[in-house]
Structures are given as C-alpha cells and as structure tokens.
Structure 1
Amino acid sequence: MQKLTLLCLFPLFIFAGNLPELVSLAEQNKHVEASRYSLEAAKEKEYATKSGYMPSLSLGANQTYNQEESILYPERSRTGSATLSFTIYDGGKREALFDQQQALVKSATFSLSSVQNDVSLNVIYYYYNYISTLASRESTLQKMEQLEAERYRLDKYLSVGSATADELQKIISTIEQTKVDLLTLDNTLNNISNTLEYLTGKEVNVESGSTIAFQEGKVEDATRFDILALEQSAQSAKAEANVAKAPHLPTIKIEDTYSRFKYDYANPAWETDADRQNTVQLSLEWKIFDFGSTSATYQAAQKTYLSKNSDLAYEKDKAKASFKSAQNSYKTALAKIEAAHAKLTASEMTYELVKKKFQQGIVNNVTYLDALSDKFNAKSQLQTALNEVEYQKAVLLYEMGKEIKGTIQ
C-alpha cells in the first residue's frame, strides 16, 4: 500500500506550467537570487556609509597606578568618559560617498531588473522552441499515419499484382526515416525540457496557449535595464574620483568629552575636590604634502571613470543597433506567417490532387511522397512562424527596456 501511495504522489513533482508560471519560477533561481543579494548588500553599504557620518558617541574608562607619585600623577586614579564627535567638513568626501553609494544602489536595482528580463527572455525562447518542436512532432506523427495507411493499401495491391515491390519498399523506407525524425524531435524536446528545468529549478511539463501582449503602434527606442545599470556604474566611478581628491582639502571635527575621575594621593596635601570635566575640542587636519599620492589616486579614479564612460557609450551604440535588428526581425517574422499560410494552402491542395492521381496510378510514389512531405512541413512551418512572432515580440520589448513578465498572457 505504501509503494502505491508513493507512485501516486510521484507525478506531483513534475510541474505543469504555462509561460507566466515558468517565468515566475525562473525568477526564483539562484542567478536571480544572487542579484537580489547584491542589491541588498548595496543598500546595507549605503546605510552604513550615511550612518558613519552621523554624530558618534564613545564611552571609555581606565584605572591607573603610578609607582612615583606627584601632583600630576596620583598614586591611583580612576577615570570614566563619554565623547560625542562629529565631522563638520572633510573636503567634500562625505557628499561624494553618498553620491557613490546611491549610484551603486541604483545600478544594483537596474542590474536585478536586467537579470530578470534576461531570464524571462531565455524562458520565452525555450518555451516557444518547445511548442514549435512539439508541433513538428505532431505533424510528423500525422505523416506517419498517412504513410502506414498507404503501406497497408500498397501491401494489399501487391498481393494481387496491382502494385510493384519497389513502390512498397519506397513507402517502407520513408516510414523508417520518419521514425528517425520522430526520435530526433523527441531528443530535441528532452533537451529543451532539461534547459527549462535548470532555468526554473523544477521538472516542468510545458503547456501551450501563452502569448505576448504587444501594441505595434507603441514601438519606441527606450533604454534597456542593463544600459541603465551601466550609467549608474559610471556615475559611481565619477563619485569615486571626487572621493579620491577630498584629501586636498582640510578636515574639520568637533568633539565634546565629559569625564568623571577620582584621584587617590598618598600625600594629603595634593588632594583635590575636582572630580569632573567637560572638554569641547575643535580640530583641523590638512595634508599639505604626500609626494603626489593623493593626486595619483585621483588620476587613477578619474581614468577608471573615463573607461566606464567609454564602455557605456559603446554599449549604447550596440543597444541601438540591437533595437533596429529586433524591429527588422519582428517585421520579417510577420511576413513569414503570410508566406506560411499561403504555402500550407497550396500544399494541401497539391497533396489532395496528387493523392488521387497516385491511387489511380497516374503519378509515381516519389511524387506522392514529396507532396505528403510538403503538406506536413507546411503545417509545421506555419506553427513555427506563429511562435517566432511571439518570441520576436519579447525581444522587441526587451530592447525597448520594458519588463517582459508583465506582458505575458
């Protein structure tokens, strides 16, 4: 009974999902999770940087024993203190660090969106590839049924001398090749399923019927998430250069220290009633010479910024070219649908005509098999063209910087 229960539960581990469900699963994978952690780390670093410039409170205590007593050095002393300190000015380093951390948080945010969009696009590609391959398999199975029926018919005709052995053998040969084609398609389906499994983290059973919502009148050249992330990364490098040059300017700090103390003198003449003190200290520190270390550090940071800015300009140009290519690919995919419809109509008409002539002995089996293959290939090509349009919609949305997940229906 226990074995039967386990067998009944096992199919539940195979996740049956349409495209929105597959994308939602994929957005929980380890690759996306790593980007989420990077964003959280950036936010924590920003908070730590800002908190580091808030007034700080420090507590201290000590007990001292002096071997040789004097009025300045009692035999024993105990001191407790509380110090409140604040950096008034540090050469603009504070503002530059705030800008840097803010840019890093924005960059991590856009990077996460970019990774999610990349994952969505990959899942969509394999989803429609699977649906197209499945349609090819179904067409091939229908072709196999037609071939088996024709073999049965020719086998009967051969027995009464109305067909030749070579005609039958040609059909049998085509059947065997079709079996190989089915095995190849099954292998492709398994490979796609394995890819979807590592993308989603689950064993999946793909369900057809999902589409991509897209308004053709709203095609616009926007900025992709990865480009936005690069822009913020460049801004972070620029702020880093400002941080590097801050030591050229003075740093001003203020500290307020409140102390309580107790002095124990062996000599009563040195005893004092004072037991507390409050000290306010305003300090200025200015590095005026360091053998060019600060200047070199600034120049290195500035060149890093220029490098990232050049990479950004290159990626922007590349993204514009990709956007134009996506537009052309989408238009081409739409044209393929019209061509596939026309081809399917023509091949079905041709097949019906050739089939009648073949059964009447007017044309040979080669002509018949060609017409049969053309018919089922046209059906498969039409389904592939329809799926390609859906995928090209997703590519175009990706290049437009839109969130793909929200457009899936």
Structure 2
Amino acid sequence: MKKICSIFLMPLFLWSQNLEELVSLSIQNRLVESSQNSLESIQKEYESVQSGYLPKLDVGANYSTTNKETASVADKSYTAYASLNYKLYDGGKKYDVYRSYESSIKSNQESHEALKNEIALDVTNYYFNYLTYIAAKEAKQKEIEQLQSQYKRLSNFLAVGSTTEDELEKIVSRVEIANVDLHEIELNIQTILHNLEYIVGEKVNIEAGSFLNDVESLTSDTLRYDIKALEYDMQTLLSNAQSEKSGYLPTITLDNTYSYYDKQFNNPAWDSNLDEQNIFSVNLNWNIFSFGETYHKYQSKYK
C-alpha cells in the first residue's frame, strides 16, 4: 500500500515549483512575448528607415505603337532605362530620425525589462503570501483541533457538574469562528494559485525553499527600468521635434538616368541616330515660405 501511495504522490513533487522556477516561467508568458515582439517590430522598422536613405536604383522598359507616326513619335518604339537616385542632404532630418528611433528602441528595451521585473515582483508577492497563508492554515487547523479536544474534555466535566453549558457554548462558538477563518484562508490560497496560473500560463503547485538576493548588492545609483524608459521617451520626442526644423533648410538630391531607345520609323527621314542617353542632375529644393507650416509642426512635436 505504501508503494502505491508513493507512486501517486511522485508527480506532485515533480510538478512542484519554487520561487525561482515560478519567476522564470512568468517572464516567458504571453505578455512578455508581446512586449518582445513590439521591440523587434520597431527594430525592423528602424532598419527599413535606414534603407530608405540609401541610393535607389530603378529599372524599367516600355513598348509603344501608334496609328499615326510623327517626327517625335515612331510607329514602333522600345525603351529601356535605369535610374539612380540619392538624397544627398535633407536639412539634417535623417540623423534626427535615426536618433528618434534609437531612443525609441532603448525605451522599449527598458520597458520590456520593467515589465519582466513587475511580473517577477507580483509572482514573488504571491509566492510569499501563499506560504504565509499555508502557515496560517496549519495554525488554524491546530487551533480547531485544540478547541475540539477542549470541548470533549469539558463535556466529561459537564457530566459530573464541574463545568457549565455556557463554557461549552463558548468553545462551539470559537470553533465556528475558526472554521470561517479557515475557509477564508483557503479561499485566499486558491485565489493566489489562480492568479499565478494566469501569469505563468500553466498549472501551479508551490513548494517552499527559496531565497532572495541580498538587497545590498543593488547599486543605489542604478535607475529603475521604467524611469529610464521615460527618459528615452523624452529623447525620442525631442528628436522628432528637431527633425521638423529640417523644413527650414534645403534638400539636395542626385539623379542619374540612362536610357536606351529603339525607334522604328516608317519614314526614314524621321529616323534619328539617338539610341542611348545618360542624364545626370543635381537638384536643390528649398521651401522659403509656407505660412508657418514648419514652425507649427515643430511646436506640435515639441509640446
């Protein structure tokens, strides 16, 4: 019989979790996973923005035919081209955008760590509250056992007239109150287990035997993750505002387009020897006046 009991009790011990295991499971839950996905998303977006500032190469081809040939429009025409474009200067907006994304990424990283710390703290509180309630439950059960033993003992005294029924009624009342307290403790224990299962994402069976790191090992000059995240958020906002000031400055772009033509004229007189062409251009655009648009954009971002 003892062997059978051992077999049934073995999974209970195998599935028990201490504080370290609970914390490790909790910081891998769906909420933390979602936070990690958000961080990776903004990192990919930053890479996309960086790629947008690199030179762009476009290629294309065209075939056309017309029902009425002219000197400028051949009966049949084939065109192929390759175009290279690069924004040489944008008023410094590129670097402000880079700084904005870098601050935003750091903010998300700090928020991610803050979330894990918050979850770990909640799990730790639940864990030690659970152990406290377990100890209170054991103490309350012993109290009920003592009251019941006392009731039996006084019942014998009542038979010989050494005590009164009032004394027995007092014990009965105390037992009932203790039972109510015991049910409340058990309810609190179940509530903690349900909360832990919600955070961890699996069945929880707590075992005692955990420790906390020495508080003195934490350096006092280390900022909390959530405070760091707020500081990086502020840097992001300032970079976004600064990027709007680029509207006061000119933008310079470089373009180079190579084209190949094959125009087939029915009229030989209109035939041209031009079959390829390369055009290189430097373009400057400067918005001198826009009714305060740039100013208001900057103010909206800054405030």
**Is the partner of 1:206 in helix, strand or coil?**
coil
Q: How does 1:161-200 map to 2 (within 5 A)?
A: 161-200=161-200
Q: Distance in 1 between matches of 2:171 and 2:46?
A: 72
Residue 131 of structure 1: CA displacement?
1.0
Q: Give the equivalent residue in structure 2 for 1:229.
A: 229
Q: Which has the higher helix share?
A: 1
1:204 aligned counterpart, secondary structure:
coil
The equivalences for 1:385-396 within 5 A come to none
* Distance change >3 Å, CA 210–CA 217, structure 1 → 2: closer
Q: How does 1:209-248 map to 2 (within 5 A)?
A: 209-216=209-216, 220-248=220-248
Equivalence for 1:306: none
What amino acid is aligned across from residue 278 of structure 1 in structure 2? N
Change (3 A) 1:298 1:238: same
| 1:96–1:243 contact (8 Å) kept in structure 2 | yes
The secondary structure found in structure 1 opposite 2:112 is helix
> Which residue in 2 is equivalent to 1:402?
none
Which residue of structure 2 lines up, in the alignment, with residue 249 of structure 1? Answer: 249
How many angstroms apart in 2 are the aligned matches of 1:90 and 1:102? 19
1:284 aligned partner, one-letter code: L
1:31 paired residue number: 31
1:203 and 1:172 map into 2 onto residues whose CA distance is 38
- 2:83 is the counterpart of 1:83: yes
Q: Deviations over 1:212-231 (max 9, x none)?
A: 11143756143110111111
Write out aligned runs for 1:227-306 (5 A): 227-303=227-303
Q: d(CA) in 2 for partners of 1:66 and 1:252? A: 38
Distance, in Å, in 1 between the alignment partners of 2:105 and 2:229 is 10
Q: Does the Cα contact within 8 Å between 1:26 and 1:123 map onto a contact in 2?
A: yes
Structure 2, unmatched stretches of 5+, are: 1-7
Structure 2 CA distance for aligned equivalents of residues 188 and 198 of structure 1: 15
Q: Is the 8 A contact 1:130 1:189 kept in 2?
A: yes
Q: Counterpart of 1:208 in structure 2: which amino acid?
A: A
- Distance of 1:113 and 1:218 partners within structure 2: 16
- State the TM-score, normalized to the length of structure 1: 0.68
Is the partner of 1:188 in helix, strand or coil?
helix
Does the aligned pair in 2 maintain the 1:107–1:233 contact within 8 Å?
yes
- The whole-number CA distance in structure 2 between the counterparts of 1:169 and 1:104 is 69
Q: Which moved more, 1:82-91 or 1:161-170?
A: 161-170
Within 1, Cα distance between the matches of 2:67 and 2:279?
28
Q: Corresponding residue for 1:116?
A: 116
SS at structure 2 position matched to 1:205: coil
Q: Which residue of 2 aligns with 1:386?
A: none
- Paired residue type of 1:191: T
SS in 1 for 2:133: helix
Two-structure CA RMSD over aligned residues (Å): 1.9
Check whether the contact 1:92–1:243 (CA below 8 A) recurs between aligned residues. Answer: yes
Q: Which has the higher contact order (CA 8 A, sep 6+)?
A: 2
Number of paired residues? 293
Q: 2:3 — aligned with what? A: none
Q: 1:92-140 CA distances to partner (integer Å, 9 max, x unpaired)?
A: 1111111111111111111100111111111111111111111111111
Contact 1:15–1:202 under 8 Å retained in 2: no
Q: Residue 153 of structure 1: CA displacement?
A: 1.4
Whichever residue aligns with residue 201 of structure 1, its letter is G
Q: Does 1:136 align with 2:136?
A: yes
- Separation of aligned partners in 1, 2:103 and 2:294: 23
CA distance in structure 2 between the partners assigned to 1:108 and 1:70 by the alignment = 62
Taking structure 2 as the reference length, the TM-score comes to 0.91
Residue 50 of structure 1 deviates from its aligned partner by 0.5
Show the counterpart of 1:155: 155
Instruction: Give structure 1 regions of 4+ aligned residues with deviation exceeding 4 angstroms.
Output: none
- Structure 1, unpaired ranges of 5+: 1-7, 304-409
CA distance in 2, matches of 1:15, 1:24: 15
Contact 1:106 1:232 in 2 (8 A): yes
Counterpart residue number, 1:96: 96
**CA contact 1:240–1:301 (8 Å) conserved in 2:** yes
Mapped to 2, the partners of 1:221 and 1:293 lie a distance apart of 43
Contact 1:99 1:239 in 2 (8 A): yes
Sequence identity percentage: 38
